Amino acid sequence: MNHEVSGFSKLSKIEKINWIAQNYFSEPKVAVALLQNYWNSDEKLQQLHDEFIENTISNFYLPLGIAPNFNINGKNYTVPMVIEESSVVAAAAKSAKFWSNRGGFKTTVLNTEKIGQVHFIYKGDTSKLDTFFKQTKSKFYSETESITKNMQKRGGGILDIVLKDKTSDLENYFQLHATFETKDSMGANFINSCLEQFAKTLKAEAQNYAPFSEEEKNIEVVMSILSNYVTNCIVRAEVSCPIAALAEKHIENPTEFAEKFVRAVQIAEIEPYRAVTHNKGIMNGVDAVVLASGNDFRAVEAGAHAYASRNGKYSSLSHAKIENGIFSFWLEIPLALGTVGGLTSLHPLVKLNLEILEKPSAQQLMQVVAAVGLAQNFAALRSLTTKGIQEGHMKMHLNNILNQYHATGEERIKVLEYFKDTTISHASVAEYLELLRK
Task: Give bridge partners of residue 399 from the DSSP assignment.
Answer: none
Residue 20 neighbours by CB distance under 10 Å: 19
Choice among 137, 280, 319, 321 that is catalytic: 280
Highest mean pLDDT among 292-301, 382-391, 414-423: 292-301
What is the arithmetic mean of pLDDT over 114-128? 98
pLDDT at 182: 97
Residue pair 229/303 in contact (Cβ under 8 Å)? The answer is: yes
300 vs 184: CA distance, rounded Å = 16
What CA–CA distances, in Å, run from 394 to 112, 132, 315, 331, 419?
40, 64, 28, 28, 10
Q: What is the DSSP secondary-structure string of 303-350?
A: HHHHHHTTTSS---SEEEEEETTEEEEEEEEE----SBSGGGGT-HHH
Active site (annotated) includes residue 393? yes
- CA dist 188 and 45 (Å) reads 26
Distance CA(67)–CA(77), nearest Å, equals: 9
Which amino acid is present at 313?
K
Quick: pLDDT tens for 213-238.
999 999 999 999 999 999 999 999 99
Domains and CATH numbers, the chain: 8-50 (no CATH), 64-109+232-388 (3.90.770.10), 114-227 (3.30.70.420), 392-437 (no CATH)
Q: Check residue 1 and give its pLDDT.
A: 67
Percent of the chain with pLDDT over 70: 97
Task: State the catalytic residue, choosing from 13, 50, 85, 113.
Answer: 85
> Which residue would you say has higher pLDDT here, 242 or 249?
242
Mean pLDDT of 356-376: 98
Out of 16, 94, 183, 393, pick the active-site residue: 393
Among residues 372, 366, 294, 374, which one has the least CA distance to residue 113? 366
Mean model confidence pLDDT for the chain: 94
> Could you tell me if 318 and 265 are in contact, meaning their C-beta atoms sit under 8 angstroms apart?
yes
Query: What's residue 437's pLDDT?
Result: 83
Phi, psi dihedral angles at 277 (to 5 degrees): -70, -40
Q: Which one-letter amino acid corresponds to residue 361?
A: S
pLDDT digits (tens, 9 = 90+) for 148-162: 999 999 999 999 999
| Nearest by Cα to 377 from 265, 295, 244 | 265
Q: For residue 41, what pLDDT is reported?
A: 94
At 165, phi and psi to the nearest 5?
-90, 110
Can you give the pLDDT at residue 85? 94
- Give the pLDDT confidence score for residue 391 in this predicted structure: 61
378 and 90 in contact (C-beta within 8 Å)? no
From residue 121, give the alpha-carbon distance in Å to each of 21, 112, 324, 334: 48, 30, 55, 30
Residue 415 has pLDDT above 90, yes or no: no
Residue 85 appears among annotated catalytic residues: yes
- Contacts for 166 with CB less than 8 Å, ≥ 6 apart: 173, 174, 175
Q: Rounded to whole angstroms, how far apart are CA atoms 263 and 14?
A: 57
Using CA atoms, how far apart are residues 154 and 145, in angstroms rounded to an integer?
Answer: 14
- 275-288 pLDDT tens trace: 999 999 999 999 99
DSSP string, 129-140: HHHHHHHHHHHH
User: Could you tell me the pLDDT band of residue 28, with boundaries at 50, 70 and 90?
Assistant: very high
Lowest-pLDDT range, 22-26, 169-173, 399-403?
399-403
Segment 107-121 shows an average pLDDT of 97
Q: What is the pLDDT of residues 39-63, one digit of tens each?
A: 999 999 999 999 999 999 999 999 9
